[in-house]
Copies of this chain bind each other. A is one copy, B any other.
């Protein structure tokens, strides 16, 4: 399934990379697309392997707030 996370504080390509890598490291995450200008992250994932709560946690661990 696909979800869109609202993420606060992503300002530059380093942020984009940090969030993308953190999510892609999770088992069950298939595709990640960060939209800096909108402050959103689209994640395509296998919900039998990873939960939305885990996706949020991975982003928060990088220092960003997820709504």
List residues of A whose CB falls within 8 A of some B CB. Answer: 9, 11-15, 18, 63
In the assembly, how many copies of this chain are there? 2
Measured between alpha carbons, how far is A15 from B17 in the docked complex, in Å? 12
Measured between alpha carbons, how far is A14 from B9 in the docked complex, in Å? 12
B13 with A63: CB separation less than 8 A: yes
Question: How close is A15's CB to chain B, nearest CB, in angstroms?
Answer: 6
Question: How close is A28's CB to chain B, nearest CB, in angstroms?
Answer: 26
The 3 closest A-B pairs by CB, nearest first: A14-B14, A11-B11, A11-B12
- Which residue on chain B has the smallest CB distance to residue A10? B12
Measured between alpha carbons, how far is A13 from B14 in the docked complex, in Å? 9
Q: Which residues of B contact A18 (CB under 8 A)?
A: 14
